[in-house]
Amino acid sequence: QVQLVESGGGLVQPGGSLRLSCAASRSLFSLSTMAWYRQAPGKQRESVASIMSGGRTDYADFVKGRFTISVDTAKSTVYLQMNSLKPEDTAVYYCRTNWRGVDYWGQGTQVTVSS
């Protein structure tokens, strides 16, 4: 099994920044794609960003140029640096990975962008 624990959410003003962290219980080298998703109230969960084992990254159009996904393999942690935050970025952000064909999700961390 894999445990994923997110942290770093909070309340931030529009235009501000936050960095989310996702700590994995297994080495990132044993995992496939690490990804961030988000779910706003009344909306479906959507993909935000992903990073593959070879380092290739992928971003949803609505965060390109503002969010950056990265990893620290020594800490088995994936980060999501979020800049120029907008009110529409308000959501619960989840970390996801797949290990041996099974999807694993974290518990989520709330991000609220409001003045």
pLDDT along the chain (115 residues), means of 10: 95 98 88 93 96 92 96 94 98 95 95 97
Three-state secondary-structure class, residue 12:
strand
Q: Which of 9, 25, 21 is nearest to 79 (CA)?
A: 21
What pLDDT score does 56 carry? Answer: 93
Tokens 């990073």 sit at which residue? 51
What pLDDT score does 50 carry?
97
pLDDT score at 20: 98
Could you count the other beta carbons within 10 Å of the beta carbon of residue 38?
23
Q: Where are the alpha helices (DSSP H) in 54-115?
A: none
pLDDT of residue 102: 92
Which DSSP symbol is given to 84? S
N-terminal to C-terminal alpha carbon distance within the chain:
40
Gap between the Cα atoms of 76 and 71, Å rounded = 7
Please tell me the predicted confidence (pLDDT) of residue 26.
Answer: 85
pLDDT score, position 53: 83
